[in-house]
């Protein structure tokens, strides 16, 4: 197959533009200077001026969870408690997500508010940052008072009774014990989710739902239908003893599905006011000393670590842990990463590049979190969402969505980084935003010679856009078609 008569941006600086793109099977066979004689009787696709880019990677997504939320009540954008309650009542759903109560004028979420909807069946509603859980009395009764856990918060009223809000480890324990979905439900939702992700130009993702046993869910799905996304899968750091015993190493799997990295948490989030800050506020889930031990143990068995760190104290402790263990993991080529890196002390910005730790960020978080950051981090804004500062200091930036916290839509992330970041000094050039969305995630999964750029020998993973994003309004760019491994997985040609 030959794609021609369009703009082909390879994202490789040595050969940035190609006049055509030749595909042989699942691989790119040529670009600039390619001749139609490369293939016998080639199928020629006329791009008619459209633009081709390497396929998008979402470098941070909770895919099974996100897929399920497409079937639940959405509370994102609810401007008041009353509006949230009305959405839940009208939906008839027992589960939902997306509420953010910091600016609600009529009070905070309570179990009584949900009891008024349904006092008999358990209702569970996750916050937008997925670190707080809003329950009714029937749901609280499932826990039988077993709510308190180290690293967790159980909000209580003046009488010492739970208000219905659980945060961090308390919320996750409840979900683990009382809020799991059946695997068949998850797999069915993931099948639909793959189609939606492909429609948005996604060809690969770094899945964070290892705690759900996502690798098994992906395998179950693959037995039923061919995967149309490449998956670099996380697993909880608590799995280290099992991984050591079995000898499983990072990278094991197939071209479509591989075990990737261990996931750990330093702290909570901005929205739940549980980010671990240098002023002493927030919730510490893992100390720097504990993380160093995790990284040390992971290095011994050949696994990189991705650690969630939101607050400036959490990021400093994480950087310290990677720095103190660098002599163990760097010689092995392990590609470490800090997830989010949302608030940094200015003196820590340059340490990402110095140590060799990637900043796995989410560009859409910046405009979404503007009001909260200005409210809760008023004295730390110089280090908040510091994308350009990180890049200029030499850090590798990889872009994800953190879906379902934000929507799984890489192009929305590109637009956010280039045009919508409220810190104009931290906006990125389009080239840099695309690198973070296509090229850098491929490096993190050791695929820099496999995909991420459109060069001969690379996998034929690409997205077709309706026009060149370097020529026109970024907000008007739309995905036309998506290819994975030489196969059209969304909207094959011909196109109108």
Q: Tens of pLDDT along 68-90? A: 999 999 999 999 999 999 999 99
The total domain count for the chain is 3
**Which residues does 480 contact at the CB level (< 8 Å), separation at least 6?**
50, 464, 465, 466, 491, 495
Q: Is the pLDDT of residue 441 over 50?
A: yes
Q: Which string of DSSP letters, residue by residue, matches 354-421? A: HHT-EEEE-TTHHHHTHHHHHHH-TT-GGGBT-HHHHHHTT--EEE---BTSS-S-HHHHHHIIIII-
Q: Looking at beta carbons, which pairs linking 82-89 to residues 24 or more positions away fall under 8 Å?
A: 82/106, 84/109, 84/125, 85/113, 85/114, 85/116, 85/117, 88/114, 88/117, 88/123, 88/125, 89/117
262 and 303 together in one domain:
yes
Question: What does the alpha-carbon distance between residue 487 and residue 140 come to, in Å, rounded to a whole number?
Answer: 48
Q: Which of 111, 132, 167 is the last residue of a domain?
A: 167
275 and 394 together in one domain:
yes
Q: What average pLDDT does range 341-362 have in this prediction? A: 98
Q: What is the structure's pLDDT at 130?
A: 86
157 and 186 together in one domain:
no
423 and 289 together in one domain:
yes
Lowest mean pLDDT among 28-37, 105-114, 347-356, 404-413: 28-37
351 and 483 together in one domain:
no
What is the token pair recorded at 212?
């759900």
- β-pairing verdict for 358-361 and 152-156: unpaired
122 and 259 together in one domain:
no
Q: What average pLDDT does range 341-364 have in this prediction? A: 98
> Does residue 121 fall inside a structural domain?
yes
Q: Is the pLDDT of residue 314 over 70?
A: yes
pLDDT band of residue 450 (cuts 50, 70, 90) is: very high
Minimal CA–CA distance to 433: which of 469, 404, 384? 469
223 and 292 together in one domain:
yes
Q: Is the pLDDT of residue 380 over 90?
A: yes
Q: CB atoms < 10 A from the CB of 38, how many?
A: 15
Minimal CA–CA distance to 175: which of 310, 65, 306? 65
Expressed as residue numbers, the domain containing 371 is: 181-444
End-to-end CA separation in angstroms for the chain? 19
Q: Is the pLDDT of residue 244 over 70?
A: yes
Domain containing residue 32: CATH number: 2.30.40.10
DSSP state of 182: P
327 and 351 together in one domain:
yes
417 and 275 together in one domain:
yes
> Does residue 77 fall inside a structural domain?
yes
> Does residue 68 fall inside a structural domain?
no
Alpha helices per DSSP H over 4-150: 63-69, 81-91, 111-115, 137-143
Q: What is the structure's pLDDT at 31?
A: 59
14 and 33 together in one domain:
yes
438 and 464 together in one domain:
no
> Does residue 314 fall inside a structural domain?
yes
402 and 288 together in one domain:
yes
Domain containing residue 106: CATH number: 3.10.310.70
């Amino acid at each position: 197959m030959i794609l021609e008569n369009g703009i082909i941006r390879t994202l490789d600086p040595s050969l940035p533009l190609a006049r055509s793109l030749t595909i042989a099977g699942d691989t790119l066979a040529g670009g600039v200077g390619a001749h139609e004689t490369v293939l016998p009787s080639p199928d020629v696709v006329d791009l008619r001026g459209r633009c081709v880019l390497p396929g998008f990677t979402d470098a941070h997504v909770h895919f099974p969870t996100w897929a399920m939320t497409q079937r639940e009540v959405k509370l994102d954008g609810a401007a008041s408690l009353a509006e949230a309650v009305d959405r839940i009542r009208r939906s008839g759903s027992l589960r939902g997500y997306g509420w953010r109560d910091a600016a609600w004028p009529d009070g905070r979420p309570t179990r009584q508010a949900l009891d008024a909807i349904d006092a008999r069946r358990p209702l569970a509603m996750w916050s937008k940052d997925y670190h707080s859980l809003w329950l009714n009395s029937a749901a609280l009764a499932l826990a039988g008072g077993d709510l308190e856990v180290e690293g967790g918060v159980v909000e209580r009223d003046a009488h010492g009774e739970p208000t219905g809000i659980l945060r961090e480890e308390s919320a996750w324990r409840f979900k683990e014990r009382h809020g799991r979905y059946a695997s068949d439900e998850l797999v069915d939702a993931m099948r639909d989710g793959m189609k939606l992700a492909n429609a948005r130009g996604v060809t690969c993702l770094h899945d964070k739902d290892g705690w759900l046993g996502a690798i098994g869910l992906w395998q179950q799905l693959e037995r039923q239908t061919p995967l149309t996304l490449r998956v670099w899968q996380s697993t909880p750091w608590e799995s280290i003893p099992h991984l050591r015993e079995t000898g499983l190493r990072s990278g094991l799997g197939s071209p479509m599905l591989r075990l990737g990295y261990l996931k750990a948490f330093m702290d909570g989030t901005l929205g739940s006011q549980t980010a671990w800050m240098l002023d002493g506020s927030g919730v510490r889930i893992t100390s720097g000393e504990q993380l160093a031990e995790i990284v040390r143990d992971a290095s011994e068995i050949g696994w990189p670590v991705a650690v969630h760190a939101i607050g400036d104290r959490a990021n400093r402790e994480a950087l310290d842990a990677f720095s103190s263990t660098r002599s163990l993991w760097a010689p092995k080529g392990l590609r470490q990463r800090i997830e989010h890196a949302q608030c940094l002390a200015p003196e820590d910005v340059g340490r990402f590049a110095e140590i060799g730790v990637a900043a796995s960020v989410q560009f859409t978080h910046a405009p979404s979190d503007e009001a909260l950051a200005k409210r809760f981090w008023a004295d730390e804004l110089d280090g908040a969402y510091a994308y350009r500062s990180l890049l200029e200091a030499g850090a590798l930036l990889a872009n994800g969505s953190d879906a379902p916290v934000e929507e799984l839509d890489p192009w929305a992330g590109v637009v956010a980084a280039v045009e919508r970041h409220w810190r104009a000094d931290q906006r990125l050039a389009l080239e840099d935003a695309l690198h973070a969305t296509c090229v850098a995630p491929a490096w993190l999964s050791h695929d820099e010679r496999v995909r991420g750029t459109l060069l001969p020998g690379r996998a034929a993973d690409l997205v077709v856009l309706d026009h060149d994003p370097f020529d026109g309004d970024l907000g008007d760019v739309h995905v036309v078609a998506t290819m994975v491994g030489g196969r059209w997985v969304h909207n094959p040609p011909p196109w109108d």
